[in-house]
Amino acid sequence: MSKQMKMGIFGLLLVIPSFLLLFVTVVIPIIISFKESLTNKSGGYDLSNYTYLFTDKLMRSNIIFTLEVTVISVILVLIVSYALAAYMRFNTGTMVKWIRKLYMIPIFIPSVIATYGLIQLLGNHGWVSRMLLLVNGGEMPRIIFDMKGIIIANLWFNIPFTTMLLGSALSAVPNAIIESAKDVGARKLQIFVRFILPLTYKTLLVAVTFVFMGVIGSFTAPFLIGPNAPQMLGVSMEQVFGVFQEKQLAAAIAFFTFLLCSVMGYFYIRSMITEESARAR
């Protein structure tokens, strides 16, 4: 047996445990959920649960609400995270040092604690509301317990990790490229669009994928500070399963959420395959 074949077998043996774990914890539950979602109340199989999912007014509003929150959250997270990462990459000074020390703190705070903190801060009788009353600023507008509250929570949860990803990508951009572009008269916007963005596009796509999947499947913040109606799909699934005991409909919601994540995953994998093919040429 050649050395190359031995290395191939050894690599395969290393991959098999991870593949089996992925198969047991992810693939099998997805198959079971899909089968359960096709089961009707009489025990047969049809698309009645999916029909209800797209024809019921409340369920449609839940889907639209989830997509709106997800898209807005992803866009805002990317804007803020990219701005922070770029500021730390191309600037120095005391402010940069403080940002580097502080921006990772939210990662180490549990989501339940962070959500409770947002309630205490931005609630009707929270700290901000009390401060406004002290300075005769009037009543505080409603911020949490609707879409705005969920988006604020998503920013808190996702900005640190996304900033870390984008910061790593920006640190790999050679200074020589930036300086050369400046020497030929390129403006900051031109440098960003023509050099920085293309060199960090791959990491940006990874960040979009992670944030999208994290937001669309979130539960803690939407459950605690989200509106009663419409609801995020994760909260809606819990209500359908735990309160109304409709297991098949809950499975349909879960599988539909998985399909939404799969669409984002498809574009990510397709982009990576296209890039690898271009490199191979």
pLDDT score of 70: 95
pLDDT score of 1: 61
CA distance 241 to 193: 47
Chunked mean pLDDT (size 10), the chain, 281 residues: 74 84 87 90 88 92 95 95 91 88 88 90 81 74 86 94 92 86 83 86 89 92 90 92 88 92 83 69 63
Signed CA dihedral, 13, 272, 195, 213: sign only: negative
pLDDT score of 76: 96
Domains of the chain: 57-280 (1.10.3720.10)
- 3-state SS assignment for residue 39: strand
* DSSP type of residue 45: B
pLDDT score of 270: 80
pLDDT score of 268: 78
Residue position matching structure tokens 């962070």: 114
pLDDT score of 191: 85
* DSSP type of residue 139: P
